[in-house]
Chain A
């Protein structure tokens, strides 16, 4: 299995809703990442998990809450989002190595906040 699987592919949520994005990989990668991508812009790093521990938080608002329950699974819990949070959320994984060997992206969750 050489894929990163993200669910759901599309999500529409209200500003008072709580929802979660899920990311799964079975490549044995011990580094997992969340990125946010706005239209026609490059992705922006949000969080990095290394060996299931949060190692980088790029000053992301607390309405985004990451979780790494095990080495194969990464969640992003969403609460009280704003319309400007609408974007494509990408998960990625890699080996824990200098440079990121085996960097693999999921196909993303397209989030719309109404």
Chain B
């Protein structure tokens, strides 16, 4: 069983729709990261969460530590939001931690 599970794996939506991507993890974590990767490109860090909720522009990320679950929401989605969204966690605790990744959600926003 993967330590980080994401759903859905693929999501196609129309421009303007409200998008939700879910992430569940099975281990104790120091933090959870939401990342974005465009095709053939590098990775951009969107959020780092250890509790509660964060908002940046049209993106909102929440985490429930007790339920070991996080969600990434995109409001008023736009074709430029099309990318792979990856949930990742740090599980070793303290110091410099490598990330353990989910398999990603491939999001396509159609005009």
Contact = CB atoms under 8 A, between A and B. Distances in A.
B41 A50 contact: no
Interface residues of B, number: 28
A33 B103 contact: no
B96 A49 contact: yes
Q: DSSP majority for the B interface?
A: loop
Given A42-B104, A45-B99, A49-B96, A100 B33 contact: yes
A23 to B, nearest CB: 12
A107 interface: yes
B43 A48 contact: no
B52 interface: no
Interface residues of A, number: 30
Interface in B79-111: 86, 88, 90, 93-104
A42 B102 contact: yes
A-B pairs with the 3 shortest C-beta distances? A99-B31, A31-B96, A107-B42
Interface of A: 30-31, 33, 35, 41-43, 45, 48-50, 55-56, 58, 90, 92, 94, 96-101, 103-108, 110
Given A48-B98, A98-B97, 19 more contacts: A42-B86, A42-B88, A42-B102, A43-B101, A45-B98, A50-B95, A55-B96, A56-B98, A58-B98, A90-B42, A96-B95, A97-B95, A98-B30, A99-B48, A100-B30, A103-B99, A105-B45, A107-B41, A107-B42
